[in-house]
Amino acid sequence: MASPMSLRHCSTNPSLGVVCRLHGHSKLGHAAPSLPEQLLIGRRQAAAAAAVAVALHAKEAISGSSVASALEFRFTAPEQTPEEADAVVKIHARDLVRIKPLIDSQSWREAQIALRESSSYLKQDLYTIIQAKPGSQRPQLRKLYSHLFNDVSRLDYAARDKDATRVQECYDNIVATLNEIFVLI
């Protein structure tokens, strides 16, 4: 096992990233000054920390943005206003319900594609609308939202398996849940 080294100095330099200087036993045989055990690290740990710092710095240099601000929170903060969502939610719900002819003709792949496209728009619309509702109405709407999109997923899997009975059952559940949601919103 590598001998522990004491962490002498660790600083952050914007142009270089993290710089750590280690102090171990000198070549002249003098022991390192006594430091608390929490500051003792091995060569491998120091090398790993340096590698992570270099990787983060390289990512920052390549992407042109800081690592911390590169995260996107688009789903939790939709770019859509509640008024915009209200204006198009029924159109997207209608598009979802219009996959019925594809189901009846057992065009499974086309039904899956249409289902995925229309449900993604509807999901964003409903999420935005639910977030704009008063807190007392949200739990019931969230429950219906969850049931709706669980049935959408089940329908997708049933279409993949070409199970006409399950597809029809899920489709009927989707239509009923959409009707319940539109009564509340």
pLDDT of residue 121: 87
pLDDT digits (tens, 9 = 90+) for 123-181: 999 998 999 999 999 999 999 999 999 999 999 999 999 999 999 999 999 999 999 99
Q: Is residue 11 part of a domain?
A: no
Q: Is residue 61 part of a domain?
A: no
Q: Is residue 51 part of a domain?
A: no
Kindly provide the residue ranges of all beta strands, DSSP E only, lying in 28-169, ordered along the sequence: 40-41
**End-to-end Cα, the chain, rounded Å:** 66
Q: Two tokens at 101?
A: 């002819």
- Whether 179 and 148 have beta carbons less than 8 Å apart is answered as no
pLDDT digits (tens, 9 = 90+) for 74-133: 444 447 788 888 888 999 999 999 999 999 999 999 999 999 988 988 999 999 899 999
CATH number at 100 reads: 1.20.120.290
Count of domains observed in the chain: 1
Q: Is residue 129 part of a domain?
A: yes
Domain range enclosing 120: 82-184
pLDDT of residue 70: 45
Q: Is residue 4 part of a domain?
A: no
Strands 40-41 and 17-23: unpaired
Q: Is residue 67 part of a domain?
A: no
pTM value > 0.85: no
Cα R_g (the chain), whole angstroms: 28
